[in-house]
Amino acid sequence: MKFVVNIKNYFKDYSNICSFGIGLIPAILLYIFPSTTAVPFFVFIILLFLLLLSLWLCMKLFLDLKELKIINNHQISSPTLPIIECHHNVCICRPNNLIANNSLVTFYEKIRGYEQQIGYGYVENINSAGLAQIKVYSTSEDIPDLIAHINDNMEAIILRPTITLDTINSIQL
């Protein structure tokens, strides 16, 4: 029964159906041509192209499964932005396509596996090298100097290109 379910799941994905079809084409062609017959050059080129296409599809499937495995093991929970340095109420982070000028980001501190929001930021500028300059605002009353706290705990700070409803409500107040 489990084998039948796996077969059904296999054929639900279009890339698997394409791979099966591409593998079936050379088998049919080799069946049509007897072993003593010379294979025409155009058939050889088509088979070579299909072989390369199937290799590409297999590699794509392998990379997709590898990425899915990482996500399922919770190694990637959501996108984060790497922070380079912070000073004068501004943090500089590495280039990333998830943020743009005038966007809002959220700062979290990871404490014993739990992420606590400590602030939010406003992307003031993205220079030609792609480095983002983020103006930092604190949402935690326990941290008087957020920039110093971020610099002291850089490995525990997570910068996300999203903002929560709680942060929006605290900004409005």
Taking only the tens place, the pLDDT of each residue in 59-69 is 887 777 776 65
Q: How confident is the model at residue 72 (pLDDT cuts 50, 70, 90)?
A: low
Query: At 120, phi and psi to the nearest 5?
Result: -140, 165
Domain ranges of the chain: 2-72, 83-172
Q: Supply the mean pLDDT for the chain.
A: 79
Residue with tokens 């959220």: 106
If you average pLDDT over residues 23-43, what whole number do you get?
A: 78
- Position 2 scores a pLDDT of 57
Q: How confident is the model at residue 80 (pLDDT cuts 50, 70, 90)?
A: confident
Taking only the tens place, the pLDDT of each residue in 89-143 is 899 988 777 788 888 888 889 888 888 888 888 899 888 888 899 999 888 788 8
Closest to 136 in 3D by CA, of 128, 154, 126, 124: 124
- Taking the C-alpha atoms of residue 28 and residue 24, their distance in angstroms, rounded to an integer, is 6
36 DSSP assignment: T
Identity at 160, one-letter amino acid code: R
